[in-house]
Structure 1
Amino acid sequence: MITNGSLTGLFSEEEISVPRQVRFWLFLILVIPSIYCSCVLLFQLFVNKKLQSQLSNHIIICLLIFGLIIELIDIPLHLSFLQLGFVWPSTRTLCTVWWFVDTGIYNGCVIIMAWGSIHRCLLIFHDRLFLVAKKRLLFHKMPLFILILYILIFYIVVIIFPPCSNTYDYNLPICGEYPCYLDVPLLGIWDTVINSIIPTAIITIFSIILLARVYIQKRHLNRANRWRRQRKMTIQLFSICILYLSANVPFNLVIFGHICGLPLHFGANVQVYANYLCYFVTLLFPFVCLSTLSEMRKKLRWKGLLLFRHSRYISTINPK
């Protein structure tokens, strides 16, 4: 994912040393089950009234939808490039769409995840805020709506209607160059700091706060049911945060170092590899969600067992 265009010297090294064929098959093997898992999760989260009513699942739904957009547009375009060796079709429109998904939608996921970290802390430690409809609107619905609106408006304006002229290189991934708005000082710094570095820092800080508070409360809380609920929500958030931070922390630390004046070659290889790890954040996210949603996991497992038993029964009465 491209998040900083000031580092123009790095884009010639945008491809990592792993052979293209290896990357192609790695992406292909992961993207098919990941798309299937995302669709199953979204279907269950929309259809199952109990899951749909849980406030903690609303942010998961948004992240799954954003991730599915990346899996259906960004990853297939990468697969096409890795197979052909050039961007096809080689048009400005495709490059613009690719930039919007690769940069805007992915950064949108990080921003929503940052709010999700704050929101989960409120749900666990200040759950009374969500009992009243007005406060639920103020602390749950409005922030999520505003963030999604901001993400869409900001990236539509700067990528689809940029204040500058974009350049394209169809022989490199993601059309080689980067959206020109990143070279505009105010927009470039805003996007890098506000839309990437700060959200990553928020995810890190609130994950640590959540773990510390849950640990402290565990020692003083005698209500087993409440503790089990807190533990479940904490494990879910922490699992997702670890996935996001594994790629975004090293990437943003290097970017922050460059902003602070370190030479561009500092951490160049780390940045390029961390950039590719961001794709695996999207590809693995549905599986992490499924592993932490115990109710859905049990339901899907039960359905699988029924299907397995049904097929065995049929084979027994029809031995031929």
Structure 2
Amino acid sequence: MSNETSSSTNSIETSLTRTIKLILFAIPLGPSLLCSLHIMICIARKHKLRHRTNHVMICIIIVDFIELTYDLAAITMPYLKTGRIYNLSLCLYWVTGNYALQGISAWLMAWASIDRYLLIFYHRLLSTFTRCDLPLIIIHGFVVLWYVIVTITHPCTENWFDETRFLCGGPCFNINSIIATTDWILLVLIPAMIIIIVNLLLLVRILVQKLWLRSSFKNRRLQWRKTANLLIQLLGITIVFLITQVPLAILCLVQIFLVPDFLIDVSHIWLYYMPYFIYITTPFAYIVTTKECRTRTFRQQQHRIYPIHR
């Protein structure tokens, strides 16, 4: 998003549109943060949730929590309330952090899809550091290094950032259309395509397996239950991602290759804020699909009757 494009959208952004977005974010933000803290407590208390196969989900929860606190609650919501960022010196940190955390989150979702596919159909693979943790390190390192490079090679001019625009008008490297398009392809399009393709392949293969298991042995039916649990957990999180990211990805494709101004006002005022809903709803989806983290386990502990020693 270049400054030239942002100038046209600034005039149609009104206090009403900002207030609507502020309300939409403010209502579920508190419960979402509480859910994230509840999940972290569950992970700390239950050894099963700290298994290597669950590390990618832990990373997703932590990254989303950082995005909600660092970006949405601390900077974006005050901006929506006042119509300007309270300190112009925060612009570089705001836009870089926003882009980096979104890129990490998108690639973590993509790897979670691949990882769950391997767990379901190649469950005999050992849960080693190379298979489970090394991809997470590569994802974080790649995204951070990418934004360090593009930030250093394209330093901001003195008047680039505008305190009245979302993300202060966007990153400085957007002045270079090649780098901006490459950034979008690497950090938005490719992970979204991986998520769609892998999950469709996963669903088709599981449906075929389910039909085959009808005439199979009972122990294979037990394996199906485990497969269903992994699938439900994955789909509960990735569906939220796809609902919010796929429309934006399709719109960006149309704008890049067909009509540059297609729904430009809608994208800048509404769609560019959609990723925040991913971070808000992901903790709820994780709790619903993870029985170890449901609150009833804590209620059971509270109402447990202990024997009286005489």
Per the normalisation by structure 1, the TM-score is 0.84
CA distance in 2, matches of 1:232, 1:225: 11
1:82 is displaced (CA, Å) by: 1.9
CA RMSD in angstroms comes to: 2.2
Cα distance in 2, alignment partners of residues 122 and 256 from structure 1? 30
Within-5 A mapping of 1:38-117: 38-53=36-51, 55=53, 57-76=54-73, 77-89=75-87, 91-92=88-89, 94-117=90-113
Equivalences for 1:192-271 in 2 at 5 Å?
192-221=184-213, 222=216, 223-260=220-257, 262-271=258-267
Relative to structure 1, is the Cα distance of residues 268 and 7 closer, same or farther in structure 2, using a 3 angstrom cutoff? farther
User: In structure 2, the residue corresponding to 1:233 is in which secondary structure?
Assistant: helix
Task: State the number of aligned residues.
Answer: 293
| Structure 2 portions without partners, runs of 5+ | 305-310
Aligned mates of 1:106, 1:121 — CA distance in 2:
23
- Contact 2:52–2:133 under 8 Å retained in 1: no
State whether residues 189 and 249 of structure 2, in contact with CA within 8 Å, keep that contact through their aligned partners in structure 1: yes
2:302 is the counterpart of 1:302: no
- Give the drift of 1:139: 2.3
Give deviations 1:45-74, integer Å, cap 9, x for gaps.
13311111150x211111111111111111
Residue 84 of structure 2 aligns with an amino acid whose one-letter code is: F
Worse-matched range after superposition: 116-125 or 25-34: 25-34
Task: In structure 2, give the amino acid aligned to 1:268.
Answer: I
Q: Does 1:164 align with 2:159?
A: no
Counterpart CA distance in 2 for 1:206 and 1:121 is 8
Residues 174-225 of structure 1 deviation map (CA, whole Å, 9 limit, x = unaligned): 21x1111133344222211111101101101111011101110011123221
- Cα distance change, pair 173–227 in 1 and its aligned pair in 2 (3 A): same
In 2, the alpha carbon distance for the partners of 1:36 and 1:116 equals 23
> 1:127 is paired with a residue of what secondary structure?
coil
Structure 2 residue identity aligned to 1:301: R
Gap regions ≥5 residues in structure 1: 311-320
